[in-house]
Amino acid sequence: MLITPAGLAALPGASVLDVRWRLAGPPGLSSYREGHIPTAVFCDLDTDLAAPPTPPGPGGRHPLPGPADFQAAMRRLGVSGSRPVIVYDDADSTAAARAWWTLRYFGHPDVRVLDGGFRAWTASGLPVETTTPDVPPGDFTASPGGMPLLAAEQAGAFPASGVLLDARAPERYRGETEPIDPVAGHIPGAVNAPTAANVDEAGRFLPPDRLKVRFEGLGVTPGTPAGAYCGSGVTAAHEVLALHLAGIPAALYVGSWSDWITSPERPVATG
């Protein structure tokens, strides 16, 4: 599920997607135009990896795209089912993990995340380009269901039989601050597991054994069902990837907190 800069440099024929994105900006496309991995094309998290949000309706701020729309986006970016896809962002793989998860959910068999992202690539002294490559259309066919996911009702009931991990920062989990969504707090019974603890100072994932110890400390022991959510299903995809690296299958609540709070009947916990 991960690949090193050297591994990518030695891998011929792969589709490379630049998924640099920041919630508060600047747009990732600007970074892409300033320099990117050769052959990489820019994949917009907001439009290629999510459907348009429809507040105050369901789905959250980054709803799961429909199969036809996602298939069209991936074909436009040159993705084919018969070739590996490498995804990367700046460093910590938060946005890249959303691309990894969405491609896997829609059935792509070989998706890998560049561990350490663009920062690791440049630190390795590998080449960077500023021109946009002209890639032929791909033939990827989207077939949903390749990864488990949770609807709101399932997420709410999940702590009764498993561990639901909240991937947001502790202060947002506790409800002390909420800079993005109109309601602060967390899903009752969820356990806080900030994604920042999944990576080292350089943004690379911790070794699988260390990730396993981390999640076991949060209650995800062998045989325990695991699920994850965040604000809008982006950092939670990073949590799911970290869990998979530790050998733990996990489901994603794509709509996450921004979907949960659209119904006043759903309970909110703080502290």
Query: Given a cut of 60, is residue 242 above it in pLDDT?
Result: yes
Q: For the chain, what is the mean pLDDT?
A: 96
- CA contacts within 13 A on the Cβ side of 147: 30
Cis omega before residue 179 (within 30°)?
no
Domain ranges of the chain: 2-123, 152-260
Cis omega before residue 26 (within 30°)?
yes
Residue of 145, 152, 140 whose CA lies nearest to 69 = 140
Query: Given a cut of 70, is residue 57 above it in pLDDT?
Result: no
- Evaluate whether 2-123 and 152-260 have a shared fold: yes
pLDDT per position as a tens digit, 166-180: 999 999 999 999 999
Report how far apart the first and last C-alpha atoms of the chain are (Å, whole number): 35
Query: Given a cut of 60, is residue 119 above it in pLDDT?
Result: yes
pLDDT of residue 7: 98
pLDDT of residue 55: 66
pLDDT per position as a tens digit, 69-95: 999 999 999 999 999 999 999 999 999
CA of 175: how far to CAs of 62, 179, 230, 269, in Å? Answer: 21, 10, 13, 8
As its CATH architecture, domain 152-260 has: 3-Layer(aba) Sandwich (3.40)
CA 201 to chain centre: 19
CATH number of 2-123: 3.40.250.10
Residues noted as catalytic: 230
